[in-house]
Amino acid sequence: MIYAPVIIPTLCRYKHFVRCIESLKKNTWAKHTDVYIGLDYPAKESHWAGYNQIKKYLEHDFSEFKSFTVFERSKNHGAFQNIQKLIDYCEKRYDRYITLEDDTECSLNFLQYMDLMLEKYENDDSVIAISGYSAPIELSFAEGCNAIKQQLQANTWGTGRWKSKTKRIKKYLAKSELEKRYIKTYQSGRIFKMTDWAIMDYTNLVTQGVSWNSILKKISDVSLRIFLTVEDKYVIMPVVSKTRNLGFDGSGLYCQEISYSPNKRITSENYDYSNQRIDESNDFVPMVDEGFDNEYNRSIYNQFDVVSKRKMDTIIKQAECYCKLSRLNRVLLKKQLIEKSILKRIKKV
């Protein structure tokens, strides 16, 4: 059995970080697991209090794990560089790894689930990652299964990756392949296999032509869930979530503060993520639904990750205009090239 190391970047969110580590300690497979912490250096005054608390906590005993290594940054790296340095370090020593954010609380069988799934799908090129998170919705899946092979979501709240597969995806994204494949994906109808939210993200990122389309060039939950449909790939996801996100309190970089609204229809924009139910089992025995109905369950996802009909109508018009304009530009470019070629021939004569 190969046990994947766990990578956790942190800075100053003391309470979240402690809950993350303490939940990992309780895992039955913690004793097999190497843990690597990247403690970033404060960039502003408000970071110092939490940073000092974390630094003191890291002086404790962590013998529950096989090993526990802390990298203290001597200057501020920022969230992306902090985790990337941890990944670079582990990729030199392991062929797989698990990434966790410091605001993620894990189930008792999180590590066992990750290690078993990483082993099971190591040689399946259609599976690009193992997700530890599952949205709080009732999906339709085969009876008795506790995980699904799906291409609707690629959530990064606790993710298992293989070095070789991730390297290929990084190279693919860096070449702007998602942007290049947008028109074909839309015109073929494949784009409508995505959730409405993914269609909206994909269309906005490509058609608006602004600098934030760089999101499509890096590994993230946004780029990966688009990648799944474009390249017909899959992510393994648990039926009952193995992780709980504590970061929707305004403390994170990307998770906005969410106000729970018990009297409203529950959606991704008002759900109380910090109290989401996670798996309470000590062990995990894989029973994966590999015939998961993505098309049927897409409609269920769309009821949680809601995009209004009016907004979707606008997105579709936006996509149509972009494709028509791109076709016109290609025709004009071809015409210009032909004209230049003719002029060159005339000059030679």
The secondary structure element, H or E, covering residue 200 is helix 196-207
Q: How confident is the model at residue 339 (pLDDT cuts 50, 70, 90)?
A: very low
| 34-49: pLDDT as tens digits | 999 999 999 999 999 9
Q: How confident is the model at residue 264 (pLDDT cuts 50, 70, 90)?
A: confident
Q: Environment class of residue 265 by beta-carbon count within 10 Å: exposed (0-12), middle (13-18) or buried (19+)?
A: exposed
Question: What is the Cα–Cα distance from 197 to 187, expressed in whole angstroms?
Answer: 18
Q: How confident is the model at residue 331 (pLDDT cuts 50, 70, 90)?
A: very low
In the predicted structure, residue 308 carries a pLDDT above the cut 70: yes
Question: What is the Cα–Cα distance from 291 to 141, expressed in whole angstroms?
Answer: 8
The pLDDT assigned to 343 comes to: 54
The residues near 238 (Cβ < 8 Å, ≥ 6 apart) are: 113, 131, 132, 133, 134, 146, 147, 279
The residues near 163 (Cβ < 8 Å, ≥ 6 apart) are: 91, 94, 95, 96, 97
The residues near 194 (Cβ < 8 Å, ≥ 6 apart) are: 152, 202, 225, 226, 229, 298
Place of tokens 């960039």: 43
Tokens of 282: 């000590």
| 189-240: pLDDT as tens digits | 999 999 999 999 999 999 886 555 688 999 999 999 999 999 999 999 999 9
Tokens of 93: 């020593």
Measured at the CA of 226, the angle between CA 220 and CA 231, to 5 degrees, comes to: 115
Question: What is the Cα–Cα distance from 210 to 213, expressed in whole angstroms?
Answer: 6
Question: What is the Cα–Cα distance from 180 to 234, expressed in whole angstroms?
Answer: 21
> How large is the average pLDDT for residues 142-167?
97
In the predicted structure, residue 348 carries a pLDDT above the cut 80: no
**Which amino acid makes up residue 221?**
D
In the predicted structure, residue 333 carries a pLDDT above the cut 50: no
Structural domains of the chain, ranges and CATH numbers in brackets: 6-171+234-305 (3.90.550.10)
